[in-house]
């Protein structure tokens, strides 16, 4: 099979390779991969900022395709089914454990830049019928993370959500929050991106370059109340403002580190406002399945900014690592 390998932790270390087709073991299926999408964890791996990979390796955590072959003992699936393999196949459901995170596609397991991959049948989720393969490949990390964020705050009509930036998790969270009847405030450095977010249903737009104290603006626009949910996708650089923007009893759902991992915190807002600070590492197969069902029920269409060919994987990585240029997800088509 054709595959793209990353031979070293470098954005210039991609090479095309011909490898034997994997064979599904008992309980596994062979998936013919058709598309992939990038996450910042993929860039972190390709730049030596995330532990675990052994080079050369087949990168990219998220993908989608169709079943090409069933291994022994597999039932309930058929050749030709359109499916999404979960990022962490060991994590079927429940609270995360070290065993669940020990196996990760595109890190310690073969990723999505190959014609085929063999995965446990229990790690597969049906691709919603209204989505194509690139759109489906956007679901494992970004949609699951956003879904867990929305669920963490038990959003209902009238809830207020604050989103930082317009990457994959933030845009999925916008779509899920609007489906829940929430009011969404989104902050970005680009007026053009903010307008695109408005077209997706965002209620309030804040350009954080023009308004660096965006947390104060959130409080102003909510009459001092703040947000029931802040999806913190940036990290250390914005964390204190996220705490300030949260309402009493609110949730700060922290998933990102593009703005650094270190932050000096004043504990008083957390204590006085009884805030819930929730760290998240994507979610389980069950969580992905729930997110996919919500997407199917509301006919949500993932936002794909650009699609690169698999031979241009390096250019796709460069686009994401440049930061701030994309809106939604960056796809790679096989």
Q: What is the pLDDT of residues 1-28, one digit of tens each?
A: 999 999 999 999 999 999 999 999 999 9
CB–CB of 82/125 below 8 Å?
Answer: no
pLDDT for residue 268: 81
Beta bridge partners, 83, equal: 65, 126
Give the count of beta carbons closer than 10 Å to the beta carbon of residue 264. 7
- Please, what is the end-to-end C-alpha distance for the chain in angstroms? 12
pLDDT at 159 over 80: yes
Contact by Cβ (8 Å): 170, 328: no
The pLDDT score that the predictor gives to residue 244 is 95
Mean pLDDT of 198-224: 97
User: Residues 47-87: pLDDT tens digits?
Assistant: 998 888 999 999 999 999 999 999 999 999 999 999 999 99
Q: Are 138 and 329 in contact, with CB atoms under 8 Å apart? A: yes
* Digit-coded pLDDT (tens) for 217-254: 999 999 999 999 999 987 767 889 999 999 999 999 99
User: How do residues 249-285 score in pLDDT, each as one tens digit?
Assistant: 999 999 976 655 666 677 888 888 999 999 888 999 9
pLDDT at 191 over 90: yes
Per-residue confidence (pLDDT) for residue 259, from 0 to 100: 54
Residue of 106, 120, 115, 105 whose CA lies nearest to 20? 115
* Whole-number pLDDT of residue 261: 63
Q: How far apart are CA 186 and CA 203, in angstroms?
A: 8
Residue 85 confidence (pLDDT): 98
Q: Has residue 332 got a pLDDT over 70?
A: yes
Round the average pLDDT of the chain to a whole number and report it: 94
CATH numbers and ranges of domains, the chain? 2-138+302-333 (3.90.180.10), 143-279 (3.40.50.720)
Say what the pLDDT of residue 247 is.
Answer: 97
CA angle 273, 234, 290 (to 5 degrees): 80
SS3 assignment, position 116: strand
- Rounded mean pLDDT, 310-318: 96
Residue 309, exposed/middle/buried by CB under 10 A (0-12, 13-18, 19+)? exposed
Please count the other Cβ atoms lying within 10 Å of the Cβ belonging to residue 322: 10
pLDDT at 260: 59
Helix (H) or strand (E) holding 120: strand 116-120
Bond preceding residue 266 cis, omega within 30 of 0: no
Percent of the chain with pLDDT over 70: 97
């Amino acid at each position: 099979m054709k595959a793209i390998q990353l031979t070293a932790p470098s954005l210039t270390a991609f090479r095309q390779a011909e490898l034997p087709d994997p064979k599904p073991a008992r309980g596994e299926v062979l998936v013919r991969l058709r598309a992939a999408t990038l996450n910042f964890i993929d860039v972190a791996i390709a730049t030596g900022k995330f532990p675990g990979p052994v080079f050369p390796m087949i990168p990219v955590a998220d993908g989608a395709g169709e079943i090409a072959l069933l291994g022994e003992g597999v039932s309930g699936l058929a050749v030709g089914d359109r499916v999404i393999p979960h990022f962490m196949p060991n994590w079927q459901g429940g609270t995360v454990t070290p065993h669940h995170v020990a196996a990760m596609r595109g890190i310690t397991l073969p990723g999505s830049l190959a014609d085929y991959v063999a995965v446990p049948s229990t790690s597969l989720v049906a691709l919603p019928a209204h989505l194509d393969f690139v759109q489906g490949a956007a679901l494992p990390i970004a949609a699951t993370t956003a879904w867990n964020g929305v669920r963490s705050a038990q959003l209902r009509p009238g809830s207020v959500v604050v989103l930082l930036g317009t990457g994959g998790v933030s845009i999925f969270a916008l779509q899920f929050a609007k489906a829940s009847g929430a009011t969404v405030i989104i902050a970005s450095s680009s007026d053009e991106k903010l307008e695109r977010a408005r077209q997706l249903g965002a209620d309030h737009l804040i350009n954080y370059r023009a308004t660096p104290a965006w947390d104060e603006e959130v409080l102003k626009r909510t009459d001092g109340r703040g947000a029931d949910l802040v999806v913190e996708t940036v990290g250390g650089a914005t964390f204190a403002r996220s705490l300030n923007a949260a309402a009493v009893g609110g949730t700060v759902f922290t998933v990102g580190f593009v703005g650094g991992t270190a932050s000096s915190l004043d504990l008083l807002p957390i204590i006085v406002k009884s805030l819930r600070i929730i760290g998240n590492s994507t979610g389980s197969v069950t969580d992905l399945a729930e997110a996919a069902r919500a997407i199917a029920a509301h006919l949500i269409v993932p936002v794909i900014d650009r699609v690169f060919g698999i031979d241009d994987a390096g250019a796709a990585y460069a686009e994401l690592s440049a930061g701030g240029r994309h809106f939604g997800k960056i796809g790679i088509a096989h």
